[in-house]
A and B are shown apart, each in its own frame.
Chain A
Amino acid sequence: MDLRKKYGTTEILKGVSLELKKGETKVIIGPSGTGKSTLLLCINRLVEPDSGKVFLEGEEITSKNAHKMRQKIGFVFQDFNLFNHLTALDNVRIGLIKVQKLSKDEATEIAMEQLKKVGLADKAHLYPSQLSGGQKQRVAIARALAMRPKLILFDEPTSALDPELIGEVLSVMIDLAKSGMTMLVVTHELGFARSVADEIVFMENGLIVEQGPPSEIFTNPKTERTRQFLRRLTELYGEERK
């Protein structure tokens, strides 16, 4: 996996280069309005960058091949974005059927397997509006997983959740990280970052301020800005949450 990205003089992203190795989990933290989400959206071309290149396993992602490349890149949104008119099961399998052209039976099998993995096999026939926020997000993760992605991008996956629902989503993500999935996660969950991240990336104003392993960033941040941000985040969210 080779993921590099540069932007010339974009307002939001002012030149960000990032690389993820296979099986690695990277966590991006930073104040809001910093371009973290934009960075994720640019990676799979849901937002067209002004300049810069993104590679997945050596192949460049362009606006032309984007819809093919996106199959290899899962995306989990802050507000879930489950398809409202489809059941949990159909949400997970529609991509398999319509995009990957699998038969309905094959797709159902894979989809059920993924729903089981996120602990929602018994909710397969419910519609999104009948699920709790945490359940919705787990279905969304199952939907991303079903496509057998090489990489999953998480855009603040727990920010829209009630505090008591965050845990169920995080534990799915922790399992995922431990199973060797390559993940790029924007989050404020420091507990998650500490326990599974191979590297923490601190971004501010469209730039990477500092990056390093969690032990280093948390205990001995190089910049004063990082230290300040972490202190505020800890005050706000509490340090450990599993």
Chain B
Amino acid sequence: MVESLPILLKGALVTIELTLAGLALGLVIAVPVSFFQVYGARVPRLVCSIYEKTFRSVPLLVLLMLIFYGLPEVGVRLDPFFACVLGLGLRSSAYQSQIFRGAILSVGKGQTVAALSIGMTRFQTFRYIVFPQALRFSIAPWTNELTIVLKDSSMAYALGVVELLRQGSYIIARTYEPMVIFLLCAGIYLALTIFANRILSFVEKKLKIPGFETREAVH
């Protein structure tokens, strides 16, 4: 059991890579999607809505299968790791866009009007006034999204990515100790989740506006 730990941790490292890459891809897509959903003209708004609804509705496993086994039929062959990052990222972007959309909307309209009234452009208003406040509103729900992506990265197992769960099952194939090893895996997921939560609640405290309850405005 002790000797299996380094191997599991090696798998955990891949899990972390999958999670961070998936979240990052999701973030990069989610910010413009949420921006267009709030500020966009009708057509971009509609496109972003369809995008968001689609990727929120397809189960991750189905999405992964489509990307990994389906796409080669049209000539796109992806490495299992990247296929997983793409799947996790696409789905996460849909959820993250909703987090940001909600956060942007919970910044009062008066803030925008006041920013415009001192001569800021629409973009400056978003960049300097709305976005910094929305960011604070989104930390709590974003933490939740992080843990979801972390846990769902285990579905990479299905594509043969050697992450935490698959490393665990390799060990079990040798040692026949499924209970112990799977419990270890679960423990590592738990530790990672707690650690991630700690970091983000630290960030949230750091960014907290004195006297201004950001959590209350998010439900």
**Structural contact, A81 and B118, CB atoms closer than 8 A:** no
Determine whether the beta carbon of B121 is less than 8 Å from that of A67. Answer: yes
A98-B114 contact, Cβ under 8 Å, with A68-B119, A84-B133, A84-B209: no
Return chain B residues, CB-CB under 8 Å to A77: 110, 113-114, 117
A99 touches B114 (CB 8 A): no
Asked whether A99 lies within 8 Å of B124 as measured between CB atoms, the reply is: yes
| Residues B117 and A75 in contact, CB atoms below 8 Å apart | yes
Q: Are B113's CB and A130's CB within 8 A?
A: no
The answer for the CA separation of A128 and B110 in the assembled complex, in Å, is 14
The listed residue (B114, B115, B136, B211) touching A130 by CB distance below 8 A is B211
Say yes or no: is B210 at the interface (Cβ < 8 Å to chain A): yes
Residues of chain B with a CB closer than 8 A to A84's CB: 111, 133, 209, 212
A94 to B115, CA, bound (A): 9
A38 to chain B, nearest CB (A): 13
Q: Per-residue 0/1 for A64-83: is the Cβ within 8 Å of any B Cβ (1 yes, 0 no)? A: 00011011011101010111
Question: Which residues of B lie under 8 Å from residue A79 when comparing CB positions?
Answer: 110
B210:A130 contact, CB within 8 angstroms: yes
- The CA-CA distance from A71 to B121 in the complex, in Å, is 11
Q: In the assembled complex, which residues on chain B have CB atoms less than 8 Å from the CB atom of A83?
A: 111, 114-115, 129
Establish whether residues B116 and A81, one from each chain, have CB atoms under 8 Å apart when the complex forms: no
A5 CB–B CB distance under 8 Å: no
CA distance A130 to B111 in the complex (A): 17
Residues from chain B with a CB closer than 8 A to the CB of A67 are: 116, 119-121
| A119-154 vs B, Cβ < 8 Å mask (1 yes, 0 no) | 000000011111000000000100110010000000
Contacts of B32 in A (CB 8 A): none
Interface size on A, residues (CB 8 A): 30
* Chain A, range 44-73, C-beta contacts under 8 Å to B: 44, 46, 67-68, 70-71, 73
A81 touches B113 (CB 8 A): yes
**Is there an interface contact between B120 and A81, defined as CB atoms closer than 8 Å?**
no
B132 partner residues in chain A, CB cutoff 8 A: 85
CB distance A143 to B118 under 8 Å?
A: yes
In angstroms, Cα B129 to Cα A82, docked, is 10
> Shortest Cβ distance from A217 into chain B, in angstroms?
29
Scan B90-121; emit 1 where CB is below 8 A from any A CB, else 0.
00000000000000000010110111111111
Are the C-beta atoms of B111 and A99 separated by less than 8 Å? no
Q: Which B residues touch A68, using CB under 8 A?
A: 119
Instruction: Give chain B residues whose Cβ lies under 8 Å from the Cβ of A140.
Output: 114
Query: Chain B residues with Cβ under 8 A from A85's Cβ?
Result: 129, 132-133, 136, 209, 212
A95 at the binding interface (Cβ < 8 Å): yes
Query: A82 contacts B114, CB within 8 Å?
Result: yes
Smallest CB separation, A44 vs chain B (Å): 6
A188 to chain B, nearest CB (A): 21
- Name B117-144 residues within 8 Å CB distance of A: 117-121, 124, 128-129, 132-133, 136
With CB as the reference atom, state the residue of chain A lying closest to B120: A99
Minimal beta-carbon separation of A132 from chain B (angstroms) = 12
List A contacts of B117 (CB < 8 A): 44, 46, 70, 73-75, 77
23 A-B pairs, CB-CB below 8 angstroms?
A: A44-B117, A46-B116, A46-B117, A67-B116, A67-B119, A70-B117, A73-B117, A74-B117, A77-B114, A77-B117, A83-B129, A84-B133, A84-B212, A98-B128, A99-B118, A99-B119, A99-B120, A100-B119, A127-B211, A129-B209, A143-B118, A144-B118, A147-B119
Given contacts A75-B114, A75-B117, A99-B118, 13 further A-B contacts (CB under 8 A): A73-B117, A81-B108, A83-B115, A84-B111, A84-B209, A85-B132, A95-B118, A95-B120, A127-B209, A127-B211, A127-B212, A129-B212, A143-B118
Across chains A and B, which 8 residue pairs bring their CB atoms closest together, nearest first? A71-B119, A129-B211, A81-B114, A75-B117, A95-B118, A81-B110, A129-B212, A70-B119
